[in-house]
Chains A and B, each alone.
Chain A
Amino acid sequence: MKKKFKFAYLYMLLLSLIALAACTNSESNTSEQNEENKENNEVVTTEEGKTVISFWHAMSGVGQTSLDSIVADFNASQDKYEVQAEFQGTYEESLTKLRSVGGTKDAPAITQVFEVGTKYMIESGFVEPIQKFIDEDKYDISQLEGNILNYYTVDDELYSMPFNSSTPVMLYNKDAFKAAGLDPEKAPATFSEVIAAAAKLKTDDMKGFSMLTYGWFFEQLVATQGGLYVNEENGRAGDATEATFNGEEGLRVFEFLDTMNKAGTFGNFGTNWDDIRAAFQSGKVAMYMDSSAGVTGIINNAPFEVGVAYIPYSDEAERKGVVIGGASLWMSKGIAEAEQKAAWEFMKYLTTPEVQAKWHLETGYFAINPSAYDEAVVKDAWGKMPQLKVTVDQLQSTEPSIATQGALISVFPESRQQVVTALENLYQGMSPQEALDQAAEGTNRAIEIANKTK
């Protein structure tokens, strides 16, 4: 008899669970209703009748300061719109937050998403392609940097507005070059030149070359040889089904790193940007690869003369250039039309040469509008810091191709982790091909699952 009651209570417990589950369901129902009502929903306005929109970004440090002042300038420049910039953590974190509100009226009008989130955003259904506004407004897109637009254009449609763009460059210590008897004005350009220079530069305290253990640099070294990351034309002709970065171009990169690692001229400073920058600045490594967005900071802080060069390429291939990195701005779908209009006006404001000149100089990101480089402030700054121009030259001399357009896969963040593990295994002595194949296998599984559950 007693046992029976125990069951009865268990039953009641389960019942209360179901009731709770029902609660959550009813909640989602109401949000759906809200969505339906959205057609005629009200727009948030300030007391003066300005349309208020929120802008989620992932810029911290210098980038945040600069962005906040740009937003403040925009708000002061007109009396119709009010943009509220909100820092949402790293790119990964803000994307995670967006996933929970995307497509609803609570979504921010503008979200900054990193370049490898492009395919995910397109497929998410959260966004309104920016092309729609370009067409409606007859906005002249040709004034923007072609090599940057190239990345964000999918099926001839521009999905998001490029904003902060960067590329990798190779930084080197000119003083160390002089000490080693190398020409400080001529940086090594090919893999074998870098290997030779690294051997000469190595001292007891200083390694010759280093690269942050981060998938992005590997992708760049593959692309600059014209190699593809995944099949289906780098995922741009259709859904990629297989990784191709373990082919000959990828192998050359791994062998390049492996040669120096075995010779003891390669310094491994881990996965943290600050660590590798500190290593360079404190003279622990003579050459390393960094983002163009970090160049200004390094030049200002290094106690020696810093040289900036193009990223190295394989001796067996031609230099094809670099793939754009960084982030772009996405317009939300499902928000009021007035809010989209406000967002579009803000995006247009961001692309003006004056704003871009300020942005370029304060952060080191590229100007997406190249006429910014003709602004007097930029010319002055370049006069003082000619290294900045190298980064722009490298981007502008890039040959548009599928390889340099960049790969398009939805599981890019996962694939990058696989590459990081492969690099770490390589530095621990695994053979280049084996390390690469493992990363490719992991990427293939991720792609397969993504395609299956689409």
Chain B
Amino acid sequence: MMVSQTKAKKSVWKRSLDARTALLYLLPSILLFSVFVFYPMFRTIYLSFFLTDQNGNAALFVGLENYTYLLESVAFRNSIKATFLFVLYTVPTGIIIALILALLANEKLKGIGFFRTIYSSTMGISVAASSVIWLFLFHPSIGMFNKLLNIFNLPQVEWLLDPTWALLSVSLSTIWLNTGFSFLILLGGLQNIDEHLYESARIDGASYWYRLRRITIPMLSPTLFFIVTISLINAFQTFGQIDILTKGGPSQSTNLIVYSIYKEAFVNYQFGTASAQAVFLFICILIVTILQFKLGERKVHYQ
């Protein structure tokens, strides 16, 4: 009996050798993730069941009240709507523009390096700095855009002050800002496509559009999939532009969930409701990402 038990133990110990080695290698990242991701995440979930006192400590257990309050709150529903609209405005447009630019810049022409640098240059500008520039472009009385409209005798637009325009204006600056990164990744993807594929297609007499549809897009699909995922997550988490351009206004029209979380937590010091919003955002991103992997990945062609 005893013998067999030790034998079993020994074999367990032996059999888990690989797993233990793996764990050892994983240990550094597990540690870092625990400190910077897992612990804050569990803490957020924990806090979302409480009302916090003025120092942000959990003070009063309220169960799911924070969540029910949020779902009933007009302001929060408005935030959800604004967030989804913002994602809708920025992600497809941004990727299409980046793709067109990448296709242009992928041609082998003299001096193409110059254009590649220009197209990807927005990557080198911080969100804060570029938002300040956009702030001046959108300025109601001395802004460039309104001056231009004036020259062509068009009516003035209150870019950041009119609730119907504000979200579009912020989206515009976001698209501009994100294009550089998407462009660079897509260009990298294009350059990885085997030149021989195009050569044989050309010999077969395939037109440019045919080549684009049958070779470029399928071969680029892993890169596209990556950039769509990243852009979606980024769009959901947009903060800097909002903080500088509109501060969530006017009439809450640009109060995206992340900004709403920030205001709730660091201006109002309601860490409980802020945490509940954060959990909600997490679930949203999770669902979108899962859907994407389930639906989108089928169309991705890996070599």
Q: Does B297 count as interface, using CB distance less than 8 angstroms?
A: no
Q: Considering only CB atoms, which chain B residue lies closest to A205 in the complex?
A: B141
Q: For A13, what are the chain B residues with a Cβ–Cβ distance below 8 Å?
A: 30, 34
**What are the interface flags for A94-130 relative to B under an 8 Å C-beta threshold, 1 for contact and 0 otherwise?**
0010010000000000000000000010011000000
* Chain B residue total in the interface (Cβ 8 A): 38
Within A6-38, the residues touching B (CB, 8 Å) are: 9, 12-13, 16-17, 20-21
Q: Does B249 make an interface contact (CB < 8 A)?
A: yes
Q: Does A196 contact B (CB under 8 A)?
A: no
Instruction: Tell me the residues in window 395-452 of chain A with beta carbons closer than 8 Å to chain B beta carbons.
Output: 410-411, 413-414, 417, 420-421, 424-425, 427-428, 446, 449-450, 452
Bound complex: CA A417 to CA B248 (Å) = 10
On whether the beta carbons of B19 and A270 are closer than 8 Å, the reply is: no
* Cα(A271)–Cα(B250), bound, Å: 9
B81 beta carbon closer than 8 Å to chain A: no
Contact of A413 among B42, B141, B247, B267 (CB under 8 A): B267
Q: A66-85: which residues lie under 8 A (CB-CB) from chain B?
A: none
Q: Determine which of A5, A421, A427, A454 lies in contact with B252 in the assembled complex, contact meaning CB atoms within 8 Å.
A: A421
Q: Which of A170-178, A274-282, A308-316 contacts B (4 or more CB under 8 A)?
A: A274-282
Chain B residues with CB under 8 Å of A450's CB are 54
List A contacts of B53 (CB < 8 A): 453-454
A123, A282, A417: the one within 8 Å of B263 (CB): A417
- Contact of A278 with B34 in the complex, beta carbons under 8 Å: no
| Interface 0/1 of B14-44, CB less than 8 Å to A | 0010010001000000110011001100100
Residue A268 is within 8 A (CB to CB) of chain B in the complex: yes
B55 within 8 A of A: yes
Contacts A120-B54, A453-B51, A453-B59 given; does A275 touch B35 at CB 8 Å: no
Picked from A21, A269, A417, the residue with its CB within 8 Å of the CB of B141 is A269
What residue of chain A has the Cβ atom nearest to residue B270's Cβ?
A449
Complex-state Cα separation, A271 to B19, whole angstroms = 57
Question: A92 an interface residue at 8 Å Cβ cutoff?
Answer: yes
Q: Which of B143-167 contact A (CB under 8 A)?
A: 158, 160-161, 163
Q: How far is the CB of B164 from chain A (nearest CB, A)?
A: 9
Cβ-defined partner of A17 (8 Å) among B39, B59, B249: B39
Cα A421 to Cα B78 in complex, Å, equals 13
Residues of B within 8 A of A428 (CB): 163, 250-251
Looking at the assembled complex, report how far the CB atom of A60 sits from the nearest CB atom of chain B, in whole angstroms.
Answer: 15
A182 CA / B59 CA spacing, docked (Å):
59
Q: Nearest residue in A to B158 (C-beta to C-beta)?
A: A268
For residue B211, CB closer than 8 A to chain A, the reply is: no
Choose one: A16, A124, A417; the contact of B55 (CB below 8 Å). Answer: A124
How far, in whole Å, are A9 and B53 apart by their CA atoms in the complex? 37
The chain A residue sitting closest to B268, CB to CB, is A414
Once the chains bind, are A270 and B140 in contact (CB under 8 Å)? yes
Distance in angstroms from A204 CB to nearest chain B CB is: 11
Bound-state Cα–Cα, A99 to B263, Å: 16
A-B contact count (CB 8 A): 95
Q: How far is the CA of A150 from the CA of B59 in the complex (A)?
A: 33
> How many residues does chain A have at the interface if contact means C-beta atoms less than 8 Å apart?
41
CA distance A450 to B52 in the complex (A): 9
State the main secondary structure of chain A at its contact with B. Answer: helix
* Bound: A9/B161 CA distance, A: 54
CA distance A96 to B266 in the complex (A): 7
For B52-84 the 0/1 string (1 means CB < 8 A from A) is 111110011000000000000000000000000
Contact A16 B31 (CB under 8 A): yes
A213 at interface by CB-CB < 8 Å = yes
Q: A213-B249, A424-B251 are in contact. Are A279 and B141 (CB under 8 A)?
A: yes
> Within 8 Å CB of B54, what residues of A?
120, 123-124, 410, 450, 453-454
B163 touches A271 (CB 8 A): no
Q: B140 contacts which of A9, A279, A420 (Cβ < 8 Å)? A: A279
One of B34, B51, B249 near A424 (C-beta < 8 A): B249
Instruction: Find the A residue at minimum CB distance from B11.
Output: A1
Query: A453 CA to B273 CA in the complex, in Å?
Result: 13
B25 smallest CB distance to A (angstroms): 14
Best-surrounded residue of B142, B251, B268, B270 (most CB of chain A within 10 A): B251
User: A427–B39 Cα gap in the complex (Å)?
Assistant: 44
CA distance A420 to B175 in the complex (A): 28
B139 at interface, CB cutoff 8 A: yes
A284 on interface, CB distance cutoff 8 Å: yes
Contact present for A275 and B55 (CB under 8 Å): no
Q: Are A420 and B60 in contact (CB under 8 A)?
A: no
A-side contacts of B268, CB under 8 Å: 411, 413-414, 417, 446
Tell me whether A20 and B35 are in contact (CB under 8 A): yes
Complex CA distance for A225 and B269, rounded to whole angstroms = 32
Establish whether residues B141 and A453, one from each chain, have CB atoms under 8 Å apart when the complex forms: no
Docked Cα-Cα span, A306 to B57, in Å, equals 50
Chain A nearest CB from B197 CB (Å) reads 43
- Chain A to chain B: the 3 pairs with minimum beta-carbon distance, closest first: A453-B59, A414-B268, A424-B251
Q: A17-B39, A270-B160, A453-B52 are in contact. List 17 more A-B contacts (CB 8 A).
A: A12-B23, A92-B266, A92-B267, A96-B266, A269-B140, A269-B141, A270-B161, A270-B250, A275-B139, A284-B141, A413-B267, A417-B267, A420-B249, A424-B163, A452-B59, A453-B53, A453-B54
Please, could you name 12 A-B residue pairs with CB atoms under 8 Å apart, sorted by A? A16-B30, A123-B54, A124-B54, A124-B55, A270-B250, A275-B141, A278-B141, A278-B142, A414-B268, A421-B251, A427-B250, A428-B251
